[in-house]
Amino acid sequence: MFESLSERLGSVFDRLTKQGALTEADVDTALREVRVALLEADVSLAVARDFVKAVKGKATGQAVTKSVTPGQQVVKIVHDELVRTLAGDGPADALKIDNPPATILMVGLQGSGKTTTTAKLAKRLKEKSGKRVLLASLDTNRPAAMEQLAILAGQIGVDSLPIVKGETAVQIAKRAKTQAAMGGYDVVFLDTAGRLHIDEVLMDEVQSVRDIAQPRETLLVVDGLTGQDAVNVATEFDGKVGITGVVLTRMDGDGRGGAALSMRAVTGKPIRFVGLGEKMDALETFEPDRVAGRILGMGDIVALVEKARETFEAEQAERMARRFAKGLFNMNDLRSQLEQMLKMGGMQGVMGMLPGMGKMAKAAEDAGFDDKMLRRQIALIQAMTKKERANPDMLQASRKKRIAAGAGLDVAELNRLLKQHKQMADMMKKMGKGGMMKQAVKAMM
Ligand code: GDP
């Protein structure tokens, strides 16, 4: 699917992971090569640029985890960024086919693989979900295309709407909906007519069909081999008829794969499926994680870094648990706690995980307890010396002033932080005596 991109990136990272220590220049050189590899794979310029920028930002801010090399860590960052680029805000939903009969509108240019994909999806729904499916071709310009859908339907053992000569696309859509409702079908596919290029007449027809059919899903089928053009077609179709997802076909070829990488970032629409051949089974759901793995071909390293990070975090949690159990809780501990909270998505994130806390999170934010506050508190702790962090009681008024100024904040805010720390330390001491702290911290981490 991504042979050439995968090969290029593979050789960049092979070199990187063999080095023990990495300079910033090493990372820069590697990222320049990544950028060229992406552009050669026909990833859009803006996406390639953002990609490299994001990786660089994360690579420089990264704490070094023991037991993996910096190069291996960079591979993991690139992998995660690939997943993010492919998946956007989150993974694509499953097809919405509740409330039967659900209509799925198939749109796209002629030759993109629309009819083939329609039949593949129907087969999948029939076999994997036991759905009753009806197929209808709306391609009134090409009788051969209508026949083709009927033939494919026969092959996969699902029904197709009988062809009636002289009907318009809208009339066929109406008949298909009626037939689907009366016949007790779960899903009805409307395979619209394609043209060689996007034109007004085609778009008008698809819009009228959409208005009548009220589809649950409008899937655009595009040829993955056409690279950046596929992304442009998706942008056009989305603007004119509104699509809910994309199916990229011909991903079995040695295409450059750029369409897959740019699609989500440029159009905002998820790739739902990929076509991997002419056979009726050659269709897969699109899974960003797996695709990123294929592009990089470095699954072992990604797994290794994940494991190392988990171990590192577990060790840290263990160390903290031991300290807390002894009633020890200094400013460094508080800072770790605050950083942990930020990592878990800040106040909102932490509270959002607890049932019924959503409202409280909002109230806390209104009262000024937000991520910014966490960051300010971390800045205050950073402005202290090592000794002061270990023993904040030693802080005199003049030092407090200097620390607050160092963090660019008010002394009042520092005093609040110190008070908060004192309360927490007292609580730790009490709980430490009971010996229950160790379990509590472990459960929390
Ligand atoms: P339509 O005009 O958009 O309906 O396109 P068709 O469904 O008729 O497909 C055009 C050609 O592309 C056919 O020969 C299909 O077998 C082929 N095709 C469709 N999807 C794929 C795919 O994922 N991989 C490959 N290799 N060929 C495909």
**In angstroms, rounded to a whole number, what is the distance separating the alpha carbons of residues 426 and 432?**
10
pLDDT number for residue 112: 94
275 touches ligand 1 (CB under 6 Å): yes
CA distance 24 to 27: 5
- Is 423 among the domain residues? yes
**Residue 389 assigned ligand-binding role:** no
Tally the C-alpha atoms within 13 A of residue 232's C-alpha that lie toward its C-beta: 8
Taking the centre of ligand 1 as the mean of its atom positions, its distance from the CA of residue 111, in whole angstroms, is 6
Q: What pLDDT band is residue 69 in, cutting at 50, 70 and 90?
A: confident
**Of the residues 258, 286, 314, the one at which a domain ends:** 286
Instruction: Flag whether 305 is in a domain.
Output: no
The stretch 37-60 carries a mean pLDDT of 87
Q: Is the CB of 252 under 6 A from ligand 1?
A: yes
The reply to whether 294 falls in a domain is: no
Domain with 65 in it: what CATH number?
Answer: 1.20.120.140
**Annotated binding residue 239:** no
Q: 37 CA to middle of ligand 1, Å?
A: 28
Q: Which of 206-215, 306-315, 422-431 has the lowest mean pLDDT?
A: 306-315
Residues 124 and 184 placed together within one structural domain of the fold: yes
Q: Which of the given ranges, 195-209, 324-338, 380-394, has the highest pLDDT on average?
A: 380-394
> 357 in a domain, yes or no?
yes
Closest-CA residue to 335 (of 440, 424, 431, 427): 424
In a domain, 212, yes or no: yes
Residue 119, both tokens: 């039949």
How much is the average pLDDT of 142-155? Answer: 95
Judgement on whether residues 236 and 343 belong to the same structural domain of the protein? no
Nearest to 283 by CA among 125, 87, 93, 86: 125
Are 68 and 111 part of one and the same domain? no
CATH number reported for the structural domain that contains residue 337 in this entry: 1.10.260.30
Of the three residues 37, 57, 87, the one that is the final residue of a domain is 87
Residue 444 has pLDDT above 80, yes or no: no
Residues 112 and 58 in one domain: no
Residues 30-58, mean pLDDT to the nearest whole number? 88
Q: What distance in angstroms lies between residue 114's CA and the mean position of ligand 1's atoms?
A: 7
Ligand 1 atom at minimum distance from 109 CA:
3
**Same-domain pairing of 132 and 224:** yes
Range ranked top by mean pLDDT from 235-239, 250-254, 290-294: 235-239
Q: Is 111 in the pocket of ligand 1 (CB under 6 A)?
A: yes
Index of the ligand 1 atom closest to the CA of residue 191? 4
**Shared-domain flag, residues 113 and 81:** no
Determine whether the annotation assigns residue 192 to a binding site.
yes
Please tell me whether residues 263 and 156 are part of one structural domain: yes
pLDDT the model gives residue 103: 97
Say if residue 110 carries a ligand binding annotation. Answer: yes
Please tell me whether residues 334 and 357 are part of one structural domain: yes
* pLDDT number for residue 58: 83
Q: Is residue 374 domain-shared with residue 405, that is, in the same domain?
A: yes
Overall domain count for the chain: 3
Residue 252, pLDDT > 60, answer yes
| Assigned domain for 353 exists | yes
**CB contact at 8 A, 114 and 191:** yes
CATH of the domain at 131: 3.40.50.300
Last residue of a domain, one of 87, 112, 129: 87
Report yes or no on 306 lying in a domain: no
Residue 296 is assigned to a structural domain of this protein: no
Domain limits for position 78: 3-87
> Does residue 277's CB lie within 6 angstroms of at least one atom of ligand 1?
yes
- Whole-number Å distance, alpha carbon 325 to ligand 1 midpoint, is 65
pLDDT band for position 90 (50/70/90)? low
Mapping DSSP onto H, E and C, the string for the chain reads CCHHHHHHHHHHHHHHHHCCCCCHHHHHHHHHHHHHHHHHCCCCHHHHHHHHHHHHHHHHCCCCCCCCCHHHHHHHHHHHHHHHHHHCCCCCCCCCCCCCCEEEEEEECCCCCHHHHHHHHHHHHHHHHCCCEEEEECCCCCHHHHHHHHHHHHHHCCEECCCCCCCCHHHHHHHHHHHHHHCCCCEEEEECCCCCCCCHHHHHHHHHHHHHHCCCEEEEEEEHHHCHHHHHHHHHHHHHCCCCEEEEECCCCCCCCHHHHHHHHHHCCCEEEEECCCCCCCEEECCHHHHHHHHHCCHHHHHHHHHHHHHHHHHHHHHHHHHHHCCCCCHHHHHHHHHHHHHCCHHHHHHHCCCCCHHHHHHHHHCCCCHHHHHHHHHHHHCCCHHHHHCHHHCCHHHHHHHHHHCCCCHHHHHHHHHHHHHHHHHHHHHHHHCCHHHHHHHHC
Entry pTM: 0.70
Q: How far is the CA of 431 from the centre of ligand 1 (A)?
A: 67
In this predicted structure, the answer to whether residue 440 has a pLDDT above a threshold of 60 is: no
Answer yes or no: is 113 a known binding residue: yes
Are 282 and 341 within one domain?
no
Give Cβ neighbours of residue 350 (< 8 Å, ≥ 6 apart): 341, 344
- Token code pair at residue 125: 């729904």
Residue nearest to atom 20 of ligand 1 (CA): 113
Same domain, 76 and 198: no
Q: Indicate if 33 and 164 belong to the same structural domain.
A: no
From atom 28 of ligand 1, which residue's Cα is the shortest distance away?
A: 278
115 in ligand 1 pocket by Cβ < 6 Å? yes
